[in-house]
Chain A
Amino acid sequence: MIRILTLAWLVWLEMIRRKDIYVLLILLAAFLVTLMALNLFGLGQAVSYLKEIGLLLAWVCSWILAVSVSARQLPQEERQGTIFPLLAKPVSRAEVLLGKWLGAWVVTGAATLVFYVLLALMVALRGGGFGGVVLAQAWLLHLGLLAIITALGIAFSTRLHADAASALTYVVTLAAWLVMPRVPDLVLTARGVVQTGLMVIYYALPHLELFDLRRRLVYGWSPAPGAAVLLTLVYGLLMTAVFLTLGWLAYRNKRFTRGAML
């Protein structure tokens, strides 16, 4: 466990010492301020507009961060050659994978929290507010979503360059996001192999839409039932475990030689 935590700490330290995360934060803040400025010129429904666009921005930023941070971890170790002194220690490949995933997850989860707080501040400045419980639930579920995305990024990057792995993670998560809610309708009209294929997709790909509480936040609805939130989180961790296991299968016998990633 100490080894996994040490590796996660390394990911964290690198992130806070790099500039990307601050750039994202500043960009997000700039966008929100611009939105508020627009509102000042008299757009109707000012607060819910700010909430909706702000949440969308926060989601996109957090998505980009999750993919880019997770998909870059393992390839970077190889490109920089740091994987050699690392694996020369009594650290297993599974621990490397878990440590990197944990680090990427915590970093993006923390950044997402900052995004939410920033947004809540802006909304408060406009005289609005989020339901506290719903906001906490939304962040928790967002964490579940980020666990899946970072696990995918790590899994793909066990055998791919950072660029390829992040592109693939973007495509898969976007496809899951857009397609999955429509699959049940499609299954009804399809038949034969196509139907089976759709069923397989429906159960194999993660249901990212389950983690989305944005509408509750925007329209100020009551909190989601606790049991539902809990179940969704369990589902998220299960999916995360599946992807990490697949990643480990690809990683455990990988040969680390010079130039393997060039």
Chain B
Amino acid sequence: MAETINHLPSSMSNAINIQDLVVEFPGAHGGAVRALQGLSLSVAQGQVYGFLGPNGAGKTTTMHVLLGFIEATAGAARLFDEDVRQTIARRRIGYLPEHPDTYRFLTGRELLLMAGRLFGLSRTALNARTTELLALVGLETAADRRLATYSRGMLQRIGLAQALVNDPDLVILDEPASGFDPLGRIRIREIIVALRERGKTVFFSSHELSEVERVCDRVGILAAGRLVAEGRMAELVKAGESLEQYFIRVVS
């Protein structure tokens, strides 16, 4: 089944499909906070999609719906044509959370092994994959240390590595660049570009607009739970305007 899907041309099924999504949280005085107000969005396979918006716009909330952490109040969301409420929808996904929280009693290597086993990877495949990923994020020397001793940026790195353990077709990254040093940021950019070259889809939120400008094919800008701008990078920012200037114009 997975094989056939993989061989479909990328236009046939989107990596992400979101239709009229509404998410409400209980608010103060019995009211409700509407984090998403009818969001519709689709991301084609093979794209690098920048998901932008001011603090509290609803970026993390959207990702949480996509990953099945919360069920939407209304609307539908699909990943590779599977309803996000199905466990199977997460088989081809990699996810880096907003906060680099992890099992602090494990070592970096153990965390990757654990993550790989949850995807049902075989032991030999997993050992090779683990070594490869540790090198990719530059953590070879810290691999056998407890995660409790990792710095914030190192936790972010190991988080990225565990997001890639199953060689996902869609990578969802919530502010991947935060916590990284300048070299780390370059590394992140290289990883994203490499993923795109292999036909993978990357959906990531970010406040680093200059980074976004460099790597994204498309961007969507969210404000107060609604999409206020969407399109190809080249179409949105024309005539000498930077993404930052554009962002400020549409958001305010």
On A, residues with C-beta under 8 Å from B are 2-3, 6, 9-10, 13-14, 17-18, 80-92, 253, 255-258
Q: Does B246 contact A (CB under 8 A)?
A: no
Q: Enumerate 5 A-B pairs (CB-CB under 8 Å) in ascending A order.
A: A84-B67, A86-B118, A91-B118, A253-B71, A257-B70
- Considering only residues 64-92 of chain B, those with a C-beta below 8 Å from chain A are 64, 67-71, 87-88, 90-91
User: What is the bound-complex CA distance between A21 and B67, given in angstroms?
Assistant: 35
Cβ–Cβ contact A91 & B159, under 8 A: no
Chain A residues, Cβ within 8 Å of B70 = 255-257
A94: nearest chain-B partner, CB-CB = B87
User: What is the bound-complex CA distance between A253 and B87, given in angstroms?
Assistant: 13
User: What is the bound-complex CA distance between A83 and B67, given in angstroms?
Assistant: 12
What 6 pairs between A and B have smallest CB-CB spacing? A81-B101, A88-B95, A256-B69, A255-B70, A89-B118, A6-B117
Cβ–Cβ contact B120 & A2, under 8 A: yes
Cβ–Cβ contact B69 & A10, under 8 A: no
Cβ–Cβ contact A2 & B71, under 8 A: no
Choose among B25, B69, B105, B119 the residue that contacts A13 (Cβ–Cβ < 8 A).
Answer: B105
Choose among B104, B110, B115 the residue that contacts A89 (Cβ–Cβ < 8 A).
Answer: B115
Cβ–Cβ contact A257 & B25, under 8 A: yes
Choose among A10, A80, A90 the residue that contacts B90 (Cβ–Cβ < 8 A).
Answer: A90
Cβ–Cβ contact A81 & B97, under 8 A: yes
On B, residues with C-beta under 8 Å from A are 25, 60, 64, 67-71, 87-88, 90-91, 93-95, 97, 99, 101-106, 110, 114-115, 117-120, 159, 162-163, 172
Q: How far is the CB of B90 from chain A (nearest CB, A)?
A: 5
User: What is the bound-complex CA distance between A89 and B93, given in angstroms?
Assistant: 8
Cβ–Cβ contact A91 & B87, under 8 A: yes
Q: How far is the CB of A250 from chain B (nearest CB, A)?
A: 15
Chain A residues, Cβ within 8 Å of B60 = 258
User: What is the bound-complex CA distance between A51 and B4, given in angstroms?
Assistant: 66
User: What is the bound-complex CA distance between A88 and B159, given in angstroms?
Assistant: 12
Chain B residues, Cβ within 8 Å of A255 = 69-71
Choose among B90, B101, B110 the residue that contacts A88 (Cβ–Cβ < 8 A).
Answer: B90
B162: nearest chain-A partner, CB-CB = A85
Known pairs A85-B97, A88-B93; list 19 more (Cβ under 8 Å). Answer: A2-B117, A6-B114, A6-B118, A10-B114, A13-B110, A14-B103, A14-B105, A80-B101, A80-B104, A81-B99, A81-B101, A84-B69, A85-B163, A88-B67, A88-B90, A91-B87, A91-B90, A91-B118, A257-B69
Chain A residues, Cβ within 8 Å of B102 = 82, 85
A86: nearest chain-B partner, CB-CB = B118
A6: nearest chain-B partner, CB-CB = B117
Chain A residues, Cβ within 8 Å of B159 = 85
Q: How far is the CB of B105 from chain A (nearest CB, A)?
A: 5
Choose among A10, A14, A87, A257 the residue that contacts B67 (Cβ–Cβ < 8 A).
Answer: A87
Chain A residues, Cβ within 8 Å of B87 = 90-92
User: What is the bound-complex CA distance between A240 and B94, given in angstroms?
Assistant: 34
User: What is the bound-complex CA distance between A88 and B119, given in angstroms?
Assistant: 11
Chain A residues, Cβ within 8 Å of B119 = 89-90
Cβ–Cβ contact B64 & A18, under 8 A: no
Chain A residues, Cβ within 8 Å of B172 = 88
Chain A residues, Cβ within 8 Å of B105 = 13-14, 17-18
Q: How far is the CB of A249 from chain B (nearest CB, A)?
A: 15
Q: How far is the CB of A240 from chain B (nearest CB, A)?
A: 23
Q: How far is the CB of B147 from chain A (nearest CB, A)?
A: 11
Chain B residues, Cβ within 8 Å of A88 = 67, 69, 90, 93-95, 97, 172
Chain A residues, Cβ within 8 Å of B106 = 10, 13
